Structure 1
Amino acid sequence: MSEPDEHFFVVDGRRWRRTDPALPEDVAAALRSHLGRGRNAVKQAKRSGDDDALAAARHRNGIAKHGLGERGPEWWERQEADRIADAERALAELDRTQP
């Protein structure tokens, strides 16, 4: 098993899971783009008090984070081909349902 610092990083004392390093850069970049837009959508929904938009934005962020390997099963415990396939499925779903 790899060292824990290869799987996590710490910001302000909080531990966060790293993005799966095996993902093709174009897929990871597209997922990060969706995540950034989703974070902006969360802020806008909070400001406007739109609970439905907030739930939808958080759901999309979850899909992006799962695709990046930052949530869900630990990427280092899974086969690389399965992880890449999951990331590609997440990206396809986000692309299809893009607001």
Structure 2
Amino acid sequence: MPHPNTPPVFTPDGRYVVVRGRLWRTTNPHLSPSRREELVAELMDARRAVRRAARDTTALAQARAKVHAAKVSLGERGPVWWDDGAPDFNRRMARNTPYASWFAALTAVQ
């Protein structure tokens, strides 16, 4: 497990951050800083609502829907934010994607 102060590893194209070998889509870099900040605040509010919902299934479903909506708005879920036609490998293991060679070389150095 990486040290807590180790900076995150991003794919060379900046589309994904790698967490424990899995690709997670990054936030759309074309969002303005103020819009990104606004959406991150919405996401954090929604995550807190998930925790508060506990066993209230209706509140939990609503809170999770808000988390999903914020992540779609940030570009981390839903349609990809890039426009070159490249497929999305979100949530996939890096070793099972076209990033496999890059990831293998990266992990061989560590």
Q: What TM-score do you get using the length of structure 1 for normalisation?
A: 0.68
Q: How many Å apart are 1:44 and its aligned residue?
A: 1.3
Matched, 1:20 2:28: yes
* Structure 2 residue 34 is the aligned partner of structure 1 residue 34: no
- Stretches of 4+ aligned residues off by more than 3 angstroms: none
1:30 partner letter: E
1:70 pairs, out of 70, 73, 76, with: 76
Compute the displacement of 1:5 (Å).
4.4
Rg (Cα) greater in structure: 2
Per-residue CA deviation, residues 24-46 of structure 1 (Å, 9 max, x unaligned), is: 11111000001011111111112
Give the alignment's TM-score, normalised by structure 2.
0.62
Q: Which runs of 5 or more residues in structure 1 are unaligned?
A: 79-99
> What is the identity, as a one-letter code, of the residue corresponding to 1:9?
V
Output the CA distance in 2 between the equivalents of 1:57 and 1:4. 34
Distance 2:20 2:52 in 1: 25
Q: How many residues align?
A: 74
Match of 1:54 in 2: 60
Query: SS in structure 2 opposite 1:70?
Result: coil
Q: Distance in 2 between matches of 1:16 and 1:10?
A: 6
1:62 Cα deviation from its structure 2 partner: 1.0
- Kindly, what percent of the aligned residue pairs are identical? 45
Q: Which amino acid aligns with 2:48?
A: N
**Structure 2 alignment gaps of length 5 or more:** 1-10, 85-110
Specify the alignment match of 1:6 in structure 2: 14
